[in-house]
Structures are given as C-alpha cells and as structure tokens.
Structure 1
Amino acid sequence: MKFHQLFLAALKEPKKLAAFRLLPIGKVIQYVFLFIGIYTVISFTRFIFGDASLFEASPELMEYSRTIGWLLYPIAFVLQFVITTFYIFVRISLFGLAGLLIAMLMQRKAEYRHIWRTAAISVTVPLLVTLVLDSFPAWQLNELYLASIVHLLYIALAVKYYPKVRK
C-alpha cells in the first residue's frame, strides 16, 4: 500500500484504519517517519526564519550562537529531528495504551501491537491539527488537548471495527 493511500484512508475511513493493524510494522514506522520528517522541516524552517526566540532569552546563548556560527543550523536540525521523533513515538505509545483501554471497554479483541499500529496511522489528523493550530497563537494553548481528543476519537472509531471478544 502506498503512502498516499494510507494518508487518505487515515483521514476518512475508520474501517480501513482498523485493518491497518495487520500492516507490517516496517511500513507503519516508515509512515510515521514521513510525518516526523515533515514536522522537522516545518519546525526547522520556522527556526531559520526567526520564529523561535530561544537565543534571545539569554545573552550567553546569543554569544554561543555567534561563536559556533553556521554549525548552529545542522545541530538545530538534528536536535529537532531527535526531539520530534521522541515526542511522536511516545505520543503514539501512550495513545496505544489508551486505545487498549478503549478496546477493553468496547469488548473488542485487541493486542497492544495492533492498537499501536492503529494509533500510529491515526496520528495523521492530530498532527495536521497541531500543525495548523500552531500557526494561530490564540489556539496554541489548547492544541494539545484538541489533538488528543481527535486522536482518541479516531482510535475509538477504528476499534469499533476490531473483532468482538468471544464469551
């Protein structure tokens, strides 16, 4: 399955989202790293154009940034990539646990590895919501809550199509 097919199905088809639990883990991780790359490039672009005022917070940091010169940019890119990777994988793992609880409440047969894959593919819309709301300063405080609710909603809609537990 191609990435654009995964993307479109993750946006609007909960039944396929549930079926993606059977995808190979390598394909799911590639899909997640595609978003990590996009997120990192956007964040790095904002850093380059001065949206982040990290170095203006301290005179010592300003001096240090002048000392290392152009090396600041590759270091910042790698650091943003590592932090973004950590953030997204922790987020997927935590929502995988929440999805496991949702599956238990809905009496659906689910293993953590299946819910994790569903959570990884269903992170598409919450990350898009985060990227859009990040552009509006008034919504930045609520973007995490809104994206979390959307993520849980997508996981719940997908878990509805998991097989029922036999009694």
Structure 2
Amino acid sequence: MKFHQLFIAGIYEPKKLAAFRLLPIGRVFKYVFMFIFLFTIISFGRFYLNDELLLEQNPDLIEHGAKIGWLIYPMALLLQLVISTFYVFIRITIFAYIGSLFLKLRRKRGNYLQIWRTSAIAMTVPMLLTIGFDFFPGIASNGFLISSIVHLLYILSAIKYYPIQQ
C-alpha cells in the first residue's frame, strides 16, 4: 500500500484503520517517519525564518550565535528531528496502550502490537491538527487536548471493526 493510500484511509476509513493492524511494521514506521520529517521541516523552517527574532530577545544569544555561526542550523535541525521522533513515538505508544485497554473493555481480539499499528496510522489527523495549531498560538494552548481527543476517537472507531473475542 502506498503512502497516499495510507494517508487517505487514515483520514476517512476507520474500517481500513482496523485492517492496518496486519501491515508489516516497517511500512508503518515509514509512514510515521514521513510525518516526523514533515513536522521537523516545518519546525526548522519556522526556526530559520524567525531566528533573528529569537536572537534579538537575548544579547547572550547574539554573542553565542556569532561564535557558532552557521553550525547552529544543522544542530537545530538534528535536535528538532530527535525531539519530533521522541514526541511522535511516545504519543503513539501512550495512545496504543489506551487503545489496548479499550480492546479489553469492548471484548475485541487483538494484541498491543496490532493496536500500536492502528494508533500509528490513526495519528494522521491529530498530527495535521498539531501542525496547524502550531501556526495559531491562541489555539495552541488547547491543541494537545483537542488532538488527543481526536486521536482517541479515531482509535475507538477502528476498534469497532476489530474481530470479537471468542
């Protein structure tokens, strides 16, 4: 299955979200890393465009930035990539754990790895919301809560299509 097919199904089709529990883990990782790279590039772009504003706020940062020079950009990109990767994988893992509890409550058959895969694909809309909230600081304060609720709703809608436990 191609990236755009996973993307569209992750937005519109909860039945396919449940079927994605059977995807190879490598395919799911590729999908997740596409979002991580998108998240990192947008974040780095905002840093690159606003670095003068950040440096003007603190004279020590201006002096430190002059010493480091152009090395600040690769370090910032690498740091943002590591932080984004950590954030996304921790988020998927936490929501997969919550999803596994919902599996038990609804008496559906599945294991943690399967719900982790579903949670990884179900994070499509919440991740797009997180990226969008980043551009609107007024909404960003409640952005995590809103995107978390949306993520849980997508997981719950996918769990509905999991097989019933015998």
| TM-score band, normalised by shorter chain | over 0.9
Scaled by the length of structure 1, the TM-score of the pair is 0.95
Structure 2 unmatched runs, 5+: none
The AA in structure 2 aligned to 1:11 is I
1:65 deviation in Å? 1.4
Q: Structure 1 residues 67 and 91, CA, compared in 2 at 3 Å: closer, same or farther? A: same
Q: Distance in 2 between matches of 1:3 and 1:152?
A: 22
Give the equivalent residue in structure 1 for 2:36: 36
Give the equivalent residue in structure 1 for 2:73: 73
Deviates more, 1:149-158 or 1:60-69: 60-69
Scaled by the length of structure 2, the TM-score of the pair is 0.95
Q: Structure 1 residues 165 and 149, CA, compared in 2 at 3 Å: closer, same or farther? A: same
Deviates more, 1:46-55 or 1:127-136: 46-55
CA contact (8 A) 1:46 1:52 kept: no
Post-superposition Cα deviations, 1:10-46, rounded to whole Å, max 9, x if no partner, equal 0000000000000000000000000000000000000
1:53 deviation in Å? 5.4
Percent identity between the aligned chains? 54
Give the equivalent residue in structure 1 for 2:13: 13
1:58 deviation in Å? 4.1
Off by >2 Å, runs of 4+ in structure 1? 51-62
The AA in structure 2 aligned to 1:88 is V
Q: How many residues align?
A: 166
Note if 1:106 corresponds to 2:77.
no
Post-superposition Cα deviations, 1:28-86, rounded to whole Å, max 9, x if no partner, equal 00000000000000000000010795545543333211110001001100100000000
The AA in structure 2 aligned to 1:140 is A
Give the match's secondary structure for 2:108.
Answer: coil
The AA in structure 2 aligned to 1:18 is A
1:136 deviation in Å? 1.2
Note if 1:143 corresponds to 2:148.
no
* Alignment RMSD: 1.4
Give the equivalent residue in structure 2 for 1:50: 50
Q: Distance in 2 between matches of 1:147 and 1:47?
A: 23
Give the match's secondary structure for 1:142.
Answer: helix
The AA in structure 2 aligned to 1:6 is L
Post-superposition Cα deviations, 1:72-119, rounded to whole Å, max 9, x if no partner, equal 001100100000000000000000001001111111112000000000
Q: Distance in 1 between matches of 2:127 and 2:52?
A: 20
Higher helix share: 2
Q: Distance in 2 between matches of 1:56 and 1:11?
A: 41
Q: Structure 1 residues 109 and 55, CA, compared in 2 at 3 Å: closer, same or farther? A: farther
